Amino acid sequence: MTGAAAPTVPGVVGLIAAGQAELLDGRGLNASYRVAWGGRSLSVKVHCAERSSEAEFRRIGRVDSALRGAPWYPPVLDLGFHGAERTRLVVVRPYVPGTPADDARRHISGVVDVLADLTARAAGVRAEDALVGDYASPWLDGARSERSLVDPLLTGEWRGLGLAMDEFLGELRCGAARLTSADGLLVHHGDLHGRNLITDGPGRLTVIDWDEAGFSRRPADAGKALWLSCRLGRGDFALDARATSLFLGRLHARLGIPYSCAADLARLGALWFLPRHGHVTLLGRRDASLGTWYLGWVLRFWTRFRENLDLVARTAAALEAGAP
C-alpha cells in the first residue's frame, strides 16, 4: 500500500481479518479498530449486524455532508457494507490522537459550541422520515410497547428500574413532547459525553463516535449532554451545581434555549437512561457481563433523578432571576 492510496472498506476489513488492527476498548454494540494505512492511522467502526441497514448508511452519509469542514468533526473517508451472511456497515475515518475527557465538566463551553454548530449546520438540510429520530423517539411513538418488552428483564435486583419507569415515564414523555418541533431539524450526534471528546492541545476539541448520528426535531443532544457533562464524574450521577449553572447559562447564550425549558431539557435527556429490551439483549449477546453492567449503571441514575431534576430547576430559576 502507498500513502497515495485512499482507504477503502474492503482494504481495512482485510487488515482487521489478518490481525493487523488494534481493537479499541468500548462497551457499545459496535466494534472499533485502529488501523495503519499508508503511513496514517485510521479509525474503523464495524457496526453490529442488527444495526447495519440502508437507513444507517444514508443517515451517516447525510450527516457527513452537513458537517464536513467543521474543525471538531472527523470526516468519513469511506463507508460501505461488508460480509455475506451477516452484512455489517463499516465506517472509515481519520484516527483522532489525544486524550479522552474523563471529566467533561472541563469542556462544557466546547460542548455547547459544538451543539450550536450542529444547529447552524442543519439549516436548510432536508431528510426523509427514516433518517429523523433520536433516543426519545421510541418512547414518544410507542411507550407502552417499549415498557412491555423490557419488563421481563426487570426482575429481582432490577425491579427498582421498572418502578422508576412507571413513576417517571409519563412526566419524561410530556417534557420531550413540549420540546419537539415539527419545523426544522437539528443534526444529532447521539452520544456527546467525555470519552467522545478528544483534546490534543489547548482549545482543540474533536468529537468522535458518530455511530448514532442523524437528525432530530428536538434538542436531544443538549438534553443528554446536560446529564453527561455536569455530573461529578464518570459513573456518578450526582450533578455538580456549578457545572449545571455553566451549562445552562452557556446554552441560553449560544442557542437561545429559555431557562424555563431547563427542567424539560433534563426530562428529555433522562429518556436515554431508560432501558430498552433490544439494547440490553444485544449488549448481553456481545458480552454476558455487559447487560448486567448496563442495568446497574442506569439504576444508579434513577436513584438520584428527582434530586438532580430539582437542582436543574433551582439553577435555571436562579439564572433567570439574575439574567438581564
Q: Which three cell numbers stand for residue 102?
A: 474523563
Specify the pLDDT at position 127: 81
Find where cell 419524561 sits. Answer: 172
Specify the pLDDT at position 309: 98
Tens digits of residue pLDDT in 41-83: 999 999 988 889 998 999 999 999 999 999 999 999 999 999 8
Mean pLDDT over 20-49 rounds to 89
> How big is the CA angle at 130 (ends 125 and 133), to the nearest 5 degrees?
75
Judgement on whether residues 58 and 108 belong to the same structural domain of the protein: no
Judgement on whether residues 142 and 204 belong to the same structural domain of the protein: yes
Judgement on whether residues 215 and 74 belong to the same structural domain of the protein: no
Is the confidence at residue 271, as pLDDT, over 70?
A: yes
Judgement on whether residues 81 and 109 belong to the same structural domain of the protein: no
Tens digits of residue pLDDT in 146-165: 999 999 999 999 999 999 99
200 or 57, which is more confident: 57
Domain assignment present for residue 4? The answer is: no
Is the confidence at residue 99, as pLDDT, over 80?
A: no
Of 61, 94, 127, the residue at which a domain comes to its end is 94
Instruction: Give me the CATH number covering residue 148.
Output: 3.90.1200.10
Domain assignment present for residue 198? The answer is: yes
Mean pLDDT over 197-218 rounds to 84
Tens digits of residue pLDDT in 107-126: 899 899 999 999 998 887 88
CA 117/CA 318 separation, integer angstroms:
27
Of 62, 94, 126, the residue at which a domain comes to its end is 94
Of 94, 111, 146, the residue at which a domain comes to its end is 94
Judgement on whether residues 176 and 204 belong to the same structural domain of the protein: yes
What's the mean per-residue pLDDT of the chain? 90
Give 41's strand partners: 36
Domain assignment present for residue 55? The answer is: yes
Judgement on whether residues 270 and 172 belong to the same structural domain of the protein: yes
Mean pLDDT over 120-144 rounds to 90
Judgement on whether residues 201 and 86 belong to the same structural domain of the protein: no
How many of the other CB atoms lie within 10 Å of CB of 323?
11
Is the confidence at residue 200, as pLDDT, over 90?
A: no
Tens digits of residue pLDDT in 252-265: 999 999 999 999 99
CA 3/CA 32 separation, integer angstroms:
22
Domain count, the chain: 2
Band of residue 2 on the pLDDT scale cut at 50, 70, 90: very low
Specify the pLDDT at position 201: 66
Judgement on whether residues 195 and 313 belong to the same structural domain of the protein: yes
Is the confidence at residue 323, as pLDDT, over 70?
A: no
Judgement on whether residues 154 and 23 belong to the same structural domain of the protein: no
Judgement on whether residues 185 and 310 belong to the same structural domain of the protein: yes
Judgement on whether residues 130 and 70 belong to the same structural domain of the protein: no
Q: What's the domain range around 301?
A: 99-322
Specify the pLDDT at position 23: 92
Specify the pLDDT at position 8: 95
Domain assignment present for residue 191? The answer is: yes
284 or 216, which is more confident: 216
Q: What is the dihedral of CA 95, 99, 104, 109, to 10 degrees?
A: -70
Domain assignment present for residue 49? The answer is: yes
Query: For the purposes of burial, counting CB atoms within 10 Å of the CB of 269, is it exposed (0-12), middle (13-18) or buried (19 or more)?
Result: buried
Domain assignment present for residue 1? The answer is: no
Share of the chain above pLDDT 90, in %: 65
Cβ–Cβ under 8 Å, residues 196 and 209: yes
The 3-class SS string of 227-281 reads HHHHEEECCEEEECHHHHHHHHHHHHHHHCCCHHHHHHHHHHHHHHHCCCHHHHH
